Structure 1
């Protein structure tokens, strides 16, 4: 050993500022008597407020309405909290929503005069990743529940369209195999890129298992123009059609022996319009209109990935679903 003493770094204000900038840390102080909050430059930018005197009430105007009461209660109790605390909440930055983590120490630890200190962190990326994982978990649970319902319904269809147990076994196996192919379109393997698909062929694969004959043409009728669906859009469109077919076999026209589904399509300049029409099913009532995670997933997929909209109409004879999509986006 050289015997030399290594001096610790001097953490002056300049070096601390370099460190906080590198870590993306914004600083705040709070006067517990006047409620005035002082922010550093990064914090002003994070909140999107003008530099100057500001209070908690001023910042509250930026907090997402769904989080405001929770944040108010949390900050009101910080002086009673022993040790470190952390509060995550959303703020509105123009049209953008950001996630902020406010951290500090309660029970007046580290208070200087009447000033408490803490930091803000932009945790938007982490929260979006958490929401993505939650979405995937919900989607998996949703798909598993639907597969049980579909398997039960396909068994009923096979029983009606066959005369012997051997025929029923063969018919049901074919339907489940076709359903598996359709499921591959909904959740494709990333290592196996898909080519552009003809819209009519795509619908035939997706809807074939639900028809009495095991192929479209009897209860499921498709009339669409020659139109290519790009590999980037095929998965999304397959997911939407799969969800509509699942809802139909659980609640709609395909849940009865006489119900039918008609799928048609028109091309209007730069827009593709697909219409899903159900007839002959049970009377449409508010109680049996499908809703929940599946409907949210369909709406989000059509909007974000196909650049379009989806609308549901509920005449007594059966649901009518209208999908409007950007033609260029569908072919991508």
Structure 2
């Protein structure tokens, strides 16, 4: 027997098949007696609310599952639905044990479609959509916060660089170098799988990327060594470390181990509960002597950043063989 479109038409309109379409869309059905407050729901609605199928329920019974922060709002909204002209939609949270779900209740207001004091509508599980919206809001907030911080830092660096340089060309070059170091650091700020959900970078990756431009300058290639344990650095600390490393590397290139062909730089780290210790060791360069006076703006920037942002301290050992800088920071601040 040949199947034709005409012969299949009755099958399309069978009520049970239309119900299958509703189920496929994740839609659950309810009806509500506005006088008695009694509710009737299909089996999938009972499952959605975590209530045994076939149980006699009223709106107050469902209210027990609504998140406390949404309960009064949902009650008021349902009571007002009859006065709403046209379609209405109410989104709210429910608790099924320890599980949180987002539900959207939809129907027609102004008594449209009411039959013998009974209103009709649907429930839809919109948990996935709400989680995606919350994720986008968090991302937007994080990006706004980060941009504000970077603008503040850029403004401060501009002021510092303008005071420590004599020509516009020097200022442009030094400011560009500082901002470029920040940019390289922030390229690394991302969640680390299985380690943290907050934005962060691995310390070894951060140091390697920040020092790469100095290591690639001709004869210096391969003479910067980084040996640190695997640990994460938070977004705020990443910015501070980028500034510190850039200032130390720039000074080394001007006056220290990286200013001569024979110079080398080793960066190592040890981590304990009370402090993370980062050691910057230069060797093979020209003889060094303790700095005189209070130091330049770059030195002030480093000391202020270490003490203020990282709750740590920095010590300089002006050994004849080369400068050794020891940086000790609070592990908790390093992760921020």
Aligned to 1:266: 271
Deviations 1:40-60 (A, max 9, x none): 111111111233111111111
User: Comparing 62-71 with 19-28, which one deviates more in the overlay?
Assistant: 62-71
Deviations 1:248-298 (A, max 9, x none): xxxxxxxxxxxxxxxx86257xxx98699x9868x99xxxxx9xxxxxxxx
Gaps spanning 5+ residues in structure 1: where?
189-196, 208-223, 247-263, 285-289, 291-311, 314-318, 326-332
Aligned to 2:80: 77
Correspondence 1:108 to 2:78: no
- Contact 1:273–1:324 under 8 Å retained in 2: no
For residue 322 of structure 1, the aligned residue among 313, 318, 332 is 332
CA distance in 1, matches of 2:46, 2:141: 37
Number of residue pairs matched by the alignment? 244
Matches within 5 A, 1:195-234: 199-200=203-204, 202=206, 226-228=228-230
State the TM-score, normalized to the length of structure 1.
Answer: 0.60
CA distance in 2, matches of 1:179, 1:3: 67
User: How far apart are residue 9 of structure 1 and its match?
Assistant: 4.5
- Contact 1:206–1:242 under 8 Å retained in 2: no
Gaps spanning 5+ residues in structure 2: where?
192-200, 212-225, 243-268, 279-301, 312-328
CA 1:111/1:14 → structure 2, altered by over 3 Å: closer, same or farther?
same
Aligned to 2:50: 48
CA distance in 2, matches of 1:200, 1:81: 60
For residue 125 of structure 1, the aligned residue among 121, 124, 128 is 128
Which ranges of 4 or more aligned residues in structure 1 deviate by more than 6 Å? Answer: 2-6, 243-246, 278-281
CA distance in 1, matches of 2:116, 2:331: 64
Matches within 5 A, 1:130-279: 130-186=133-189, 199-200=203-204, 202=206, 226-228=228-230, 237=233, 239-242=235-238, 266=271
CA 1:149/1:198 → structure 2, altered by over 3 Å: closer, same or farther?
closer
RMSD value, Cα: 4.2
User: How far apart are residue 122 of structure 1 and its match?
Assistant: 0.5
CA 1:79/1:143 → structure 2, altered by over 3 Å: closer, same or farther?
same
- Contact 1:91–1:98 under 8 Å retained in 2: yes
CA distance in 2, matches of 1:170, 1:162: 10
